[in-house]
């Protein structure tokens, strides 16, 4: 029997009793809640079963570990991209889980489609690709140690990296096939060329906004009238002043006992990174397409015979190994501590003496002949060498425990208290006072968006409660309480006089600019040439013949307006556009020449065909994904 408790019912109830938790009624209610948790378990408030999967895609499970790995990857990417501008709301677990699950489902659908099509990548291809990656090379050669080190820092093992790379390559095949399945016909190329390669002959002149700003004078009556009519423009934003208490990791750093450092050293010395390592070379023989088991066995026997005759292992690997990635370096795979290769290989490696050659070892990749070329005993550094690192590690761990313990106490105290006075007194904390904070406060110790949302929340701003204890970056925790609310208010005229004068000048200048542009259009429409008009009024002018949509010789605003105008029937078409900077461009469209595929160079034709193919390919891929989703049996638990 399982009980389900509605959290949305509990939350407002707790808010109602937060100031009266010592009352009899509150104690009875809390007792009922505690009793239900004791009898049925805290999981009774969670809807759901004990499934080992978070979802199924056509019967294929999505495991919690798989989901968490994708969430962790997304979290690292967001933190890396945003840096100091990170909004903690972007790391909301529910939001990340939703996006991660969607990406996993889409990827599984694509992988299932690729499997049905029989798409695959051989171990040989993977080896060639990995050995050719520059990030795994030293002086132009594949470096196994660097390979494993970089993978470990990114959270991969060689096995998981190869599986992920293999899946990526298979999906690339699928996407390439989909993109290549559609193409532009000659008629489509001609139609696109007619539009995209269209040419337009234009003239344009520039009317500078600065001409109408210079020497402008604004009288006092205009300023007062503007102030009276536009007071909403001169409001000071609302702000809050907060009392707050703060906890950080540095507040809890204490000297570390020698016994704790010695225990940490004992654990460190036994860690995996100090295990003995074997440097291994191998000769890999893969069963080729159409090759019989007997033929493969003959090749294995030949390798064994060559080695038994005393031939150098590296020479045989270079000549006969199917692993191109390692054959060039005599079959060298680098060091393993027992976790780099498949279990069958690791067992054989562990049983070998240095310079001994193994019997054939079969794995999914093929048949391996192994040789241990070096054994490296990895003794841990001395206590003296590791002391600074260990001391800092222990100190930080102990400080975190003390910090989190105090945070929990602060949570309890702040929830039941009317202000921060009692929590601060009991925990020995200083109550600090903030400067006035805006809703979008850009700087300061409380400028974190999470703090500002709490400060302006109904609970803090209107009800006068303490906020929750908020976790901030760098192991900081704060709780806030409203000290003073400063509503929005109209600024005095004297404080905004100069701003009003500038606004009036700008408004008049833009009105006069628009009028001048209209007059210029009228003059050109009446037959006056652009050059003559520009010379008469002192404007700059330009002409561009055969301008195309991607021309870089014409201002962007002019180009967009010129290609938005209808083609002239008999007389040139005139219009104007105001650029973001304020200047007006009066544009005269003289002639439109449709694009012609035959007049494009071979390079331009190839580029046009590729562009259309990419657009069509993207559409095909989206439709394919939507089709997979529509036909899929997807269950989210």
Q: What is the pLDDT of residues 571-581, one digit of tens each?
A: 999 999 999 88
Fill in the DSSP letter of residue 357: B
**pLDDT mean over 391-396:** 91
Partners of residue 586 on adjacent β-strands: 205, 576
Query: By mean pLDDT, which of 206-215, 355-364, 480-489 is the weakest?
Result: 206-215
Whole-model pTM? 0.48
**pLDDT mean over 94-102:** 85
Q: Give the model confidence (pLDDT) of 501-558 as tens digits.
A: 998 999 999 999 999 999 999 999 999 999 999 999 999 999 999 898 888 889 999 9
**Shortest CA distance to 338 belongs to which of 278, 427, 386?**
278
**pLDDT mean over 477-485:** 96
**pLDDT mean over 447-466:** 94
Q: Which CATH architecture group holds 238-256+384-487?
A: Roll (3.10)
Query: Which CA distances in Å does 71 have to 65, 91, 157, 280, 383?
Result: 10, 10, 18, 35, 37
CB atoms within 10 A of CB 327: 22
More confident call, 156 vs 162:
162
Residue 66 has pLDDT above 70, yes or no: yes
Could you tell me the pLDDT band of residue 402, with boundaries at 50, 70 and 90? Answer: very high
Return the sign of the alpha-carbon dihedral for residues 542, 547, 550, 552: negative
Fill in the DSSP letter of residue 182: -
Query: By mean pLDDT, which of 176-190, 381-395, 436-450 is the weakest?
Result: 176-190
Query: Which CA distances in Å does 541 have to 214, 459, 512, 530, 551?
Result: 22, 62, 20, 7, 18
Q: What is the pLDDT of residue 181?
A: 64
Could you tell me the pLDDT band of residue 424, with boundaries at 50, 70 and 90? Answer: very high
Q: Give the model confidence (pLDDT) of 76-85 as tens digits.
A: 778 777 766 6
Helix (H, G, I), strand (E, B) or coil at 457: coil
Fill in the DSSP letter of residue 348: H
Contact between 114 and 302 under an 8 Å Cβ cutoff? The reply is no
- Which residues in 352-496 belong to E strands, given as ranges? 361-363, 366-376, 432-433, 470-472, 476-486, 489-490
Distance (Å, rounded) from C-alpha 260 to C-alpha 483? 44
Q: Give the model confidence (pLDDT) of 615-632 as tens digits.
A: 777 787 888 888 888 888
Q: What is the pLDDT of residue 184?
A: 66
Contact between 171 and 114 under an 8 Å Cβ cutoff? The reply is yes
Distance (Å, rounded) from C-alpha 544 to C-alpha 467? 64
Partners of residue 166 on adjacent β-strands: none
Average model confidence (pLDDT) for the chain? 84
Q: What is the pLDDT of residue 270?
A: 66
More confident call, 413 vs 70:
413
Pairing of strands 235-236, 489-490: antiparallel
Helix (H, G, I), strand (E, B) or coil at 237: coil
Residue 34 has pLDDT above 60, yes or no: no
Query: By mean pLDDT, which of 525-529, 566-570, 612-616 is the weakest?
Result: 612-616
Which residues, at least 6 apart from 629, have a Cβ–Cβ distance to it below 8 Å? 106, 109
Contact between 368 and 342 under an 8 Å Cβ cutoff? The reply is no
Residue spans of alpha helices (H) in 449-492: 449-455
Q: What is the pLDDT of residue 35?
A: 43
b/e code 402-416 from CB counts within 10 Å (16+ = b): bbeebbeebbebbbb
- Strands, sheet with 60-62, edge to edge from the N-terminal-most edge strand: 60-62, 55-57, 634-636
Partners of residue 60 on adjacent β-strands: 57
**Is CATH 1.10.3720.10 the right assignment for the domain spanning 276-376?**
no
User: In whole angstroms, what separates CA 418 from the centre of its chain?
Assistant: 41
Distance (Å, rounded) from C-alpha 541 to C-alpha 530? 7
Distance (Å, rounded) from C-alpha 75 to C-alpha 81? 10
CB atoms within 10 A of CB 396: 16
Q: What is the pLDDT of residue 139?
A: 75
Q: Give the model confidence (pLDDT) of 168-208 as tens digits.
A: 888 888 887 776 666 667 787 788 778 788 899 999 999 99
Query: By mean pLDDT, which of 166-175, 316-325, 333-342, 514-523 is the weakest?
Result: 333-342
Pairing of strands 584-593, 277-285: unpaired
Element (H, E) at 282: strand 277-285
Q: What is the pLDDT of residue 84?
A: 63
Token pair of 260, please?
């704790």
């Amino acid at each position: 029997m399982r009980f389900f408790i509605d959290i949305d019912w509990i939350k407002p109830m707790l808010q109602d009793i937060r100031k009266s938790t010592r009352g009899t009624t509150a104690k009875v209610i809390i007792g009922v809640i505690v009793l239900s948790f004791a009898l049925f378990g805290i999981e009774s408030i969670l809807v759901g079963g004990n499934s080992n999967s978070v979802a199924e895609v056509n019967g294929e499970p999505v495991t919690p570990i798989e989901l968490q790995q994708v969430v962790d990857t997304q979290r690292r990417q967001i933190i890396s991209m945003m840096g100091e501008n990170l909004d903690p709301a972007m790391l909301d677990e529910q939001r990340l889980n939703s996006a991660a699950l969607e990406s996993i489902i889409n990827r599984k659908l694509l992988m299932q489609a690729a499997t049905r099509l029989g798409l695959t990548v051989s171990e040989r291809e993977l080896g060639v690709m990995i050995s050719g990656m520059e990030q795994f090379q030293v002086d132009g050669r594949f470096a196994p140690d660097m390979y494993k080190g970089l993978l470990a820092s990114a959270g991969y093992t060689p096995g998981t990296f190869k599986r992920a790379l293999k899946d990526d390559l298979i999906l690339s095949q699928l996407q390439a096939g989909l993109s290549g399945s559609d193409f532009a016909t000659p008629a489509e190329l001609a139609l696109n060329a007619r539009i995209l390669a269209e040419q337009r002959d234009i003239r344009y002149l520039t009317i500078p906004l600065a001409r109408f700003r210079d020497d402008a004078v604004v009288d006092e009556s205009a300023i007062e009238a503007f102030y009276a009519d536009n007071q909403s423009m001169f409001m000071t934003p609302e702000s809050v002043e907060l009392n707050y208490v703060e906890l950080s990791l540095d507040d809890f750093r204490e000297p570390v006992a020698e016994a704790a450092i010695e225990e940490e050293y004992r654990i460190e010395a036994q860690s995996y990174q100090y295990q003995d390592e074997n440097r291994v070379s191998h000769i890999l023989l893969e069963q080729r397409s159409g090759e019989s088991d007997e033929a493969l066995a003959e090749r294995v026997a030949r390798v064994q015979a060559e080695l038994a005759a005393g031939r150098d292992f590296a020479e045989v690997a270079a000549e006969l190994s199917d692993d191109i990635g390692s054959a060039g370096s005599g079959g060298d795979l680098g060091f393993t501590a027992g976790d780099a290769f498949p279990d069958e290989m690791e067992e054989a490696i562990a049983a070998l003496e240095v310079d001994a050659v193994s019997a054939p070892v079969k794995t999914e990749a093929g048949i391996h002949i192994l040789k241990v070329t070096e054994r490296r005993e990895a003794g841990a550094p001395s206590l003296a060498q590791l002391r600074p690192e260990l001391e800092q590690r222990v100190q930080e761990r102990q400080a975190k425990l003390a910090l989190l313990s105090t945070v929990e106490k602060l949570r309890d105290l702040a929830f039941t208290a009317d202000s921060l006075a009692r929590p601060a007194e009991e925990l020995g904390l200083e109550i600090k006072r903030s400067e006035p904070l805006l809703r979008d406060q850009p700087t300061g110790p409380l400028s974190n968006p999470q703090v500002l949302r709490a400060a302006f929340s109904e609970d803090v701003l209107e009800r006068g409660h303490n906020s929750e204890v908020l976790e901030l970056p760098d192991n900081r925790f704060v709780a806030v309480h409203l000290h003073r609310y400063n509503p929005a208010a109209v600024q005095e005229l004297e404080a905004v006089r100069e701003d009003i004068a500038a606004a009036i000048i700008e408004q008049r200048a833009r009105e006069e600019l628009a009028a001048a542009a209209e007059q210029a259009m009228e003059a050109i429409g009446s037959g006056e040439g652009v050059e003559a008009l520009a010379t008469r009024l002192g404007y700059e002018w330009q002409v561009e013949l055969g301008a195309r949509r991607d021309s870089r010789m014409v201002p962007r605003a002019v180009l967009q307006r010129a290609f938005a105008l209808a083609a002239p029937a008999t007389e040139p078409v005139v219009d104007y556009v105001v650029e973001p900077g304020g200047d007006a461009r009066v544009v005269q469209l003289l002639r439109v020449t449709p694009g012609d595929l035959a007049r494009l160079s071979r390079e331009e034709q190839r580029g046009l065909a590729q562009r259309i193919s990419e657009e069509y390919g993207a559409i095909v891929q989206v439709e394919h994904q939507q089709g997979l989703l529509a036909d899929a049996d997807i269950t989210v638990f």
